[in-house]
Amino acid sequence: MKKDFSKISFLSLFLLFSVAPQLIQARKNNSQMLTVKSTTFETNNTKMRRGINIGNALEAPNEGDWGVVIKDEYFKIIREAGFDTVRIPIRWSNHAGSVPPYKIDDNFFKRVDWVVNKSLEQGLITIINIHHYEEIMQKPEGHEDRFLALWKQISEHYRNYPDTLYFELLNEPNGALTSDIWNKFIEEAVSIIRETNPTRKIIIGPADWNSVYKLKELKVPEGDKNIIVTFHFYTPFEFTHQGAEWVSPSPPVGKKWIGNEAEQKQITDELDIAVRWATEHNNISLFMGEFGAYSKADMASRVRWTYFVAREAEKRNIAWAYWEFCSGFGAYDPVKNEWREDLLNALIPPPNKYYVSVDTEHGSILGSGWYNEGSYATIKISETSLGFLVQDVFDHFEGLGSRDIVIDARTVKVYVNGPRIIRAVWRKDYTMALLTTLGVGIILGVAILLYKMQRFSLLSVDFRNATLHSSLVLFSLHTFLRLGSLKLKQQR
């Protein structure tokens, strides 16, 4: 039978032009769907800058034991505040078998998955680690196989996750886990991870609680360009951990951090140790994985310290993660469901705003806070003298500049053109002590005189003169004390 190719050609063209647009649109739609799916966890961040730890949650013996249960909304709150990184400490060792194959509990894995996914969905670089593995610090050789088995399971489990999920081998190696032993564990663990995650970022840190002073003993796997080195920063410890219940002996509460030259140098010297070491090791990336000051320190000092440490780290191109989100060091109040604004601003300063810090050794002072650049902050001290015999008297404000305005003896307006530190300076005043001593001396002198006059039977003869003399003495004493009282009122 002869085929009519003209009809077939016409029909083919008709179908082509009628169906092609739908096919093209369907392909576009399908492509868009694939794009959305493939970029669910993608982020615009190419590297870490500013992060925060969600501590006291998954690294507790069980989540919630230390008062923190991670909520889904936390990650959105963190991202919207301006952070790009979240570090999630995890106590895997409490949820894995104690004998081979050291299997991690499935339900715990699912919980970690949920938390990690919620973080990645917000476009946050997400760090998971092995945290509070206390047994390995005490008997490292006895837990080597278990440690490596944990990382084999973790690395295989997350092998297909996006590259914005980072692995941190172990938090704060210490105790019997010396640098030599730890370096051996690092080499073995990295080798295991690289079997399934050849290019994933791996974070390692030195021994002795991730101390900068132990960086010189840390051995970094050669030829691996995806290694980041971490250190933790709590200097000075007596300030950052004052009143910490888990420290024995606990540093006493009341230590302030003013930000004077010596205090700043103590911090910059330690940061420079890390920078010098990194420079000598092919400019390896640095990560200050923990820093913070406990809530028993005064807030003004915490803000000053946090702001200074964060800015100095940034100057040196060191990424950081504040310790921590919503517990004892927390920048976020989980009861009020709001950021502690002063701390948040110290971590991520708002544009064109600076912190004016005020401090006084005695009494109280008002005016600390964040102010717009170019505005004036009103600083006022509540009392100008305290005490009775030996008084603490307000003398002057330290830290004033040429554009600041003195309003009266206790008030000043400070021009905000950058971070400002204003300190009330006091002096000792012994006027009342001298007057009181003089008065007591006069009274004793009169008493002795009267006693002697009576003893020599002269009282009756010279009683009128003695009375007149005593009256003059008492009048003088009254005048002295009256002047002292007026002086006190003027000072107040």
- Going residue by residue through the chain, which has 492 residues, state the pLDDT in tens, using 9 for 90 and above: 333 333 333 333 333 334 334 433 433 333 322 222 222 333 333 489 999 999 999 999 999 999 999 999 999 999 999 999 999 999 999 999 999 999 999 999 999 999 999 999 999 999 999 999 999 999 999 999 999 999 999 999 999 999 999 999 999 999 999 999 999 999 999 999 999 999 999 999 999 999 999 999 999 999 999 999 999 999 999 999 999 999 999 999 999 999 999 999 999 999 999 999 999 999 999 999 999 999 999 999 999 999 999 999 999 999 999 999 999 999 999 999 999 999 999 999 999 999 998 988 888 899 999 999 999 999 999 887 777 778 888 899 999 999 999 999 899 999 999 999 999 998 987 776 677 787 787 888 777 777 776 666 554 545 555 555 555 555 565 565 565 555 545 555
Q: Please state, in angstroms and rounded to a whole number, the distance separating the CA atoms of residues 364 and 487.
A: 21
Q: Which CATH architecture has domain 50-349?
A: Alpha-Beta Barrel (3.20)
Q: Please state, in angstroms and rounded to a whole number, the distance separating the CA atoms of residues 66 and 57.
A: 7
pTM metric for this prediction: 0.80
Predicted local confidence at residue 33, as pLDDT: 26
Structure tokens at 16: 């082509």
Identify which of 318, 308, 319, 296 has the alpha carbon closest to the alpha carbon of residue 349. 308
